[in-house]
Structure 1
Amino acid sequence: MKINHLTSAEENLMKLFWKMESFYLKDVMEKHPDPKPHQNTVSTYLKILVEKGYLSTEKEGRIFKYNVLVPFEEYRKFLLKEFSLNFFNNSGKEILKFLINENLISQEDLTDFNIEISTTNTKEPQFEFANEILNPKKDKKKNKDKKKKKKKD
């Protein structure tokens, strides 16, 4: 199943739809928290979500019944994979490291899953490339000295 991205407005409506699973337009209007959007606005979003494959419709007389096609867990998995790919080089290890460094997950949380981490200090990264840019004269001098030695030999 191909899952498409949702806008924040679509996502907010889907949160309500995932709770209801199957519903009519009038159900959405009743259960939507205040301030309630206009019925035409909700109807437009329902049409968009059907086109994106998140909802299906069943015609019952003159009205439509909507059913959720993409479960919340599938959407959450899709978002996490996209997030991992775009921001953490598709590495769960990088995500976990970030969560720990930002104190969003604790050692206690990890022990609940039988995961232990050592709190050793990590080395500062070497910036060789930056040094080449910041100190180009040193490298040029070395190269010139090497070329002179080769010419003398």
Structure 2
Amino acid sequence: MKINHLTSAEENLMKLFWKLNSFYLKDIMEQHQEPKPHQNTVSTYLKILVEKGYLSTEKEGRIFKYTVMVPFDDYKKFLLKELSNNFFNHSGKEILQFLFNENLISQNDLKDYFDLKIEMKPVKIKEPKLEIANEILNPKKDKKSKDKKKKKKKN
């Protein structure tokens, strides 16, 4: 089954439909939060969502009963794969790194979920080696002076 993209308005209505699973137009009008959209607007969205394959209809007398055809979990998988493909080079590792960097997930979240001992260490930036500067700032002492100090310590 091919899943199509939803507009923001369609997605908001689908959130309600996923809760109801099977419903009539009057159920939507009763359940929708204020300000309630006009019934014709909802009917138009229902028609679009049927065409996109998210809903199916069954005629019962003069009214239609709608049933959700695309489960919420399938839609979430679709969105996550699209996100991965379009923004993270098909890499779960990049997604996870982004979630950590944005503090959307913690190490404890992963430890609890996977029951593993995972320890994330902060990324350290390597400092450039300044050998010439170190030689100038910390000149090497002669071996003779070291030998003299050793002799003095022994005595």
TM-score (norm 1): 0.78
Once superposed, what is the RMSD of the aligned Cα atoms?
1.2
Q: Which has the larger radius of gyration?
A: 2
For 2:26, the equivalent position in structure 1 comes to: 26
For 2:6, the equivalent position in structure 1 comes to: 6
Q: Distance in 2 between the 1:115 and 1:39 partners?
A: 54
Q: Distance in 1 between the 2:103 and 2:67 partners?
A: 39
Q: Distance in 2 between the 1:117 and 1:102 partners?
A: 18
For 1:103, the equivalent position in structure 2 comes to: 103
Aligned to 1:5, what secondary structure does the other structure show? coil
Q: Distance in 2 between the 1:89 and 1:115 partners?
A: 27
Same amino acid, percent of matched pairs? 77
Contact persistence 2:107–2:120 (CA under 8 A): no
| Alpha carbons of structure 1 residues 122 and 93: separation in structure 2 relative to 1, 3 Å | farther
Aligned to 1:10, what secondary structure does the other structure show? helix
Aligned to 1:65, what secondary structure does the other structure show? strand
For 1:145, the equivalent position in structure 2 comes to: none
* Aligned residue identity for 2:120: S
Structure 2, unaligned stretches of length 5 or more? 127-155
Q: Distance in 2 between the 1:41 and 1:115 partners?
A: 52
For 2:54, the equivalent position in structure 1 comes to: 54
| Alpha carbons of structure 1 residues 26 and 108: separation in structure 2 relative to 1, 3 Å | same
For 1:68, the equivalent position in structure 2 comes to: 68
How far off its partner does 1:93 sit? 0.4
How far off its partner does 1:18 sit? 0.2
* Aligned residue identity for 2:99: L
Contact persistence 2:100–2:106 (CA under 8 A): yes
How far off its partner does 1:117 sit? 3.4
For 1:93, the equivalent position in structure 2 comes to: 93
How many residues get paired? 124
| Alpha carbons of structure 1 residues 108 and 51: separation in structure 2 relative to 1, 3 Å | same
Q: Distance in 2 between the 1:44 and 1:120 partners?
A: 51
* 1:42 is aligned to 2:42: yes
For 1:116, the equivalent position in structure 2 comes to: 118
Write the deviation string for residues 32-90 of structure 1: whole angstroms up to 9, x where unpaired: 01000000000000000000000000000010000000000000000000001000001
TM-score (norm 2): 0.77
| Alpha carbons of structure 1 residues 122 and 81: separation in structure 2 relative to 1, 3 Å | farther
